[in-house]
Amino acid sequence: MRNEDQKLAGRAACAPRTAILIPCYNESLTIAKVVEDFRRALPEAAIYVYDNNSQDDTAAKAADAGAMVRREDMQGKGNVVRRMFRDIEADFYILVDGDDTYDAKIAPQMLHLALEEPCDLVNCIRRESEQAAYRMGHRFGNQMLTGMVRYIFGNRVQDMLSGYKVLSRRFVKSFPALSGGFDIETELTVHALELSMPVAHVEGSYRGRPEGSESKLHTYRDGLRILWLISILFKHERPLQFFWWIGLILMLISLALGIPVVLQFLQTGLVMRLPTAVLAMGIMLVAFLSIMTGLILDTVTRGRREAKMLTYLQYSAHQGFLQRKSHAAGSTDESAS
């Protein structure tokens, strides 16, 4: 009996520490079911619900369902995720919304893929199981924004705005979360692409919210915020390309204004449109300054990326999990002998 207990303890020690992170704001209708579904899917995982100033009894229902409930006062999903990543220690993190639109049954498959590949990001590609799963405009907006990120930062990601992901410890602890709202998914994706992290995808059903539950996502306001974040990240992570395009556009404007003035000067020997000539010259100078700015910031960005990579590499793949597995294997051998 003692050997059986030791084997069970060894298997438990070998299992990766998994934290299920559920940011919530007014999800009293669904949070208990989400917690219970993930408890059944991953019984050994620790489930954390972070309440973000809910006006209903979300926190009480999450606690009754068996989740560890904590609070984040700064409003916005990005602020909650940042707090989660700072506070929770685990080998793998499953980030999921508390609105009961995702399928908890595929969590073991996603976790297995993250462990065996190994992958730092396993993203759930949403497949509609109900006609009303996507609100009007959301499908097009998701495709457009994901396409922009794929074009700028690399085409290794699908369904960027999915709220269901498995993240490794080294992803989480090297992620400098800056976003405050729903644009956090964009920032997560760009972080993985910029550091060339191993990424995988799993398809999962996506259903509509139950009756009486309302989405916190504002289609146009949050869409514009995500679009603005993409442009900011383009400037921060690809400054040479960003300022080169600005410089090129300014050069073309300068040439369009200046060539007629030059041609007129060659024909008559006179500068008849002096203000236009001065304007064209000024725009051309700004164009060259833009390109030089891009060159300088590209060097700075390279240094920032190297610093993030060094932070990322401080955590070897599944370091804590592998150490516990080795220790448990040694303990099993000693008991067997």
Q: Which tens digits make up the pLDDT trace of 312-330?
A: 888 876 655 555 555 555 5
What average pLDDT does the segment 119-136 reach?
75
* pLDDT of 20 above 80: yes
pLDDT category of residue 5 using cuts at 50, 70 and 90: very low
Q: What is the pLDDT of residue 51?
A: 93
Contacts of 116 (CB under 8 A, 6+ apart): none
* pLDDT of 8 above 60: no
pLDDT category of residue 104 using cuts at 50, 70 and 90: very high
pLDDT category of residue 133 using cuts at 50, 70 and 90: low
Q: Which residue has the tokens 């989740």?
A: 67
* pLDDT of 132 above 70: no
Q: What is the pLDDT of residue 325?
A: 58
* pLDDT of 129 above 90: no
* pLDDT of 131 above 60: no
Q: Which residue has the tokens 């080294």?
A: 170
What average pLDDT does the segment 165-183 reach?
88
What residue type is assigned to position 208 of the chain?
G
Distance (Å, whole) CA 139 – CA 247: 34
CB atoms within 10 A of CB 155: 12
Q: What is the pLDDT of residue 1?
A: 42
Closest by CA position to 186, among listed 223, 137, 131, 134:
223
The pair of structure tokens assigned to 283 is 């725009």
Residue, of 206 and 216, whose pLDDT is higher: 206
Are the C-beta atoms of 254 and 278 separated by less than 8 Å? no
Polymer length in residues for the chain: 337
* pLDDT of 141 above 50: yes
Instruction: Output the average pLDDT for the chain.
Output: 84
Q: What is the pLDDT of residue 321?
A: 57
Q: What is the pLDDT of residue 280?
A: 94
Residue, of 211 and 184, whose pLDDT is higher: 184
Q: What is the pLDDT of residue 218?
A: 64
Q: What is the pLDDT of residue 300?
A: 92
Q: What is the pLDDT of residue 315?
A: 80
Residue, of 213 and 104, whose pLDDT is higher: 104
* E runs forming strands in 5-73: 18-24, 46-51, 68-71
pLDDT category of residue 224 using cuts at 50, 70 and 90: confident
Q: What is the pLDDT of residue 3?
A: 52
What average pLDDT does the segment 5-9 reach?
45
Which of the residue ranges 143-147, 167-171, 172-176 would you say has the lowest mean pLDDT?
143-147
What average pLDDT does the segment 190-213 reach?
85
* pLDDT of 13 above 80: no
203: β partners: 125
Q: Give the three-state DSSP class for 301.
A: helix
Share of the chain above pLDDT 70, in %: 83
201: β partners: 123
Q: What is the pLDDT of residue 147?
A: 87
The pair of structure tokens assigned to 118 is 């190994």
Q: What is the pLDDT of residue 130?
A: 58
